[in-house]
Amino acid sequence: MIAPHTLIKVGDLADLKPVDSRRPLPDWALAMLQQAPYVIVRRGSQEKMLPVGIRGFQKSQRFPAVLPMDRVTPDQLITPQQIIARQLLRQLAPNRLALPAFQALQHATTVLRDYHWGVGGSLQFELVTGLPMANENSDLDIIMDLPPQDLSVTQARALLQALNQTAAHADVQVVAGQDGFSLEEYANHTSHTVMVKSAAGPLLTVDPWAYLRSHGRDDGTIAATGETD
Amino acid sequence: MEKLHFTFKATQPITHPVHIGVVASGDLEVIMRPTTGDSELDIVTGSDGFHDVWQHVLERFFDRYPIQAKFEINDFGATPGVVNLRLTQAMEALKDAQ
């Protein structure tokens, strides 16, 4: 299983196919791939084809595509966690590091010292490709591996508060395998259920921690079709 | 960014406000407040050009649940599956709150 949010450096752009053959890759996507041949793994079945997304500079520029699984090798992959482990933030130019979201990321490296985590979204894309993807309004998307112990609602609130001390909004998704849920939703507790995004689509559960512990680890061969994100 | 507005005839008033979902990419938040007139929906979405998809999702929702409320929806690129699930969850929260 290749985890959602993993970036893939595409070896041969001809391998990349649109999800719907009647809807070919738009011009902005082709131009983007010429600049940086990276795609992001989306949730969904990975049986023969890997669901991926192409990302453009605009927020509305997102395009779903697929890559044949047998054309993807481990050396092409970079996970959100590897970006933190390799300290890619240190290579960032000072004017980029000054952006609120990168400031928030730098702050997060202290707050999340005891967790296994990574960075997703526009910051992830910028840190890997070197392209200026983040802007003044970017959020910090944190991808946190399911910790050994569940967090209580109180602990989750404290952690989110500690992360949100800078100008950018810090969002935490707790993940295991292809499953993930929003720590903020769990902490807000406005409903007795929490949404879990899974390879087979979104679902509601009363205890997202228990769901991730029982399902998240071995969903390598889910025969899911249709809904992904 | 696009702002959408919809109006639906509704018969089931709510007594408490409900706030579901989160501000996060691929997600959305749904806020429902009590109202006395038709159900008015104000939607702010990061994905342009989805008026007809919203129309379809909401028609199906109001067919099942003619909820009389003022809706505020902030969409951050959620899939129709996530939208449906959040609306379902809002219905559950309403039941809990009434």
What pLDDT was estimated at residue A125?
A: 97
What pLDDT was estimated at residue A216?
A: 64
Separation CA A5–CA B68 (nearest Å): 39
Q: Is the ipTM reported for this complex over the cut 0.95?
A: no
Q: Does A188 touch chain B (CB under 8 A)?
A: yes
What pLDDT was estimated at residue A219?
A: 47
What pLDDT was estimated at residue A218?
A: 53
Give me the total of CB pairs closer than 8 Å, taking one residue from chain A and one from chain B.
Answer: 69
Band (pLDDT 50/70/90 cuts) for residue A226 is: very low
Determine the 3-state secondary structure of A174 from DSSP: strand
Q: What is the residue-wise DSSP string for A65-83?
A: EEEEGGG--GGGEE-HHHH
Tokens of A104: 């928030």
What pLDDT was estimated at residue A120?
A: 96
The answer on pLDDT for A59 being more than 90 is no
What pLDDT was estimated at residue A217?
A: 59
- Domain B2-97, CATH number (from 3.30.230, 1.10.150, 1.10.10, 1.10.3110): 3.30.230
Distances (CA, A) of A117 to A53, B86, B96: 21, 27, 35
Average pLDDT, chain A: 92
- For residue B46, the chain A residues in CB contact (below 8 A) are 59-60
Closest chain B CA to residue A226: B81
What pLDDT was estimated at residue A221?
A: 37
The predicted-structure confidence for A160-190, as pLDDT tens digits, reads as follows: 999 999 999 999 999 999 999 999 999 999 8
Q: Does A15 touch chain B (CB under 8 A)?
A: no
By residue range, what is the domain housing residue A66? 7-77
In this prediction, residues B17-34 reach a mean pLDDT of 93
What pLDDT was estimated at residue B49?
A: 83
Dmax over CA atoms of chain A, in Å, equals 49
At which residue do the structure tokens 């569940």 appear? A150
Tokens of A148: 């050994």
Kindly list the domain boundaries of chain B, sorted by start residue: 2-97
Residues 6 or more apart in contact with residue B87 via CB below 8 angstroms: B30, B57, B61
The answer on pLDDT for A228 being more than 50 is no
Nearest by CB to residue B20, choosing from A121, A169, A190, is A190
Separation CA A201–CA B74 (nearest Å): 20
Tell me the shortest Cα–Cα distance from B26 to chain A, in angstroms: 7
In this prediction, residues A77-84 reach a mean pLDDT of 96
The answer on pLDDT for A223 being more than 50 is no
Q: Does A205 touch chain B (CB under 8 A)?
A: no
Residue A106, domain member (yes or no):
yes
From A77, A104, A121, the end of a domain falls on: A77
Residues A30 and A121 in one domain: no
Contact A204 B22 (CB under 8 A): no
Closest chain B CA to residue A201: B81
The sign of the CA dihedral A176, A181, A186, A189 is negative
For residue A82, give the amino acid letter.
Q
Closest chain B CA to residue A203: B85
The answer on pLDDT for A70 being more than 80 is yes
The predicted-structure confidence for A195-205, as pLDDT tens digits, reads as follows: 999 999 999 99
In this prediction, residues A30-47 reach a mean pLDDT of 96
Q: Does B92 touch chain A (CB under 8 A)?
A: yes
For residues B54 and B4, the answer to whether their CB atoms sit within 8 Å is yes
The sign of the CA dihedral A8, A14, A15, A20 is positive
Contact B24 A227 (CB under 8 A): no
Residues A111 and A189 in one domain: yes
In this prediction, residues B42-56 reach a mean pLDDT of 90
Which of A195, A56, A211 shows the shortest CA–CA distance to A146?
A211
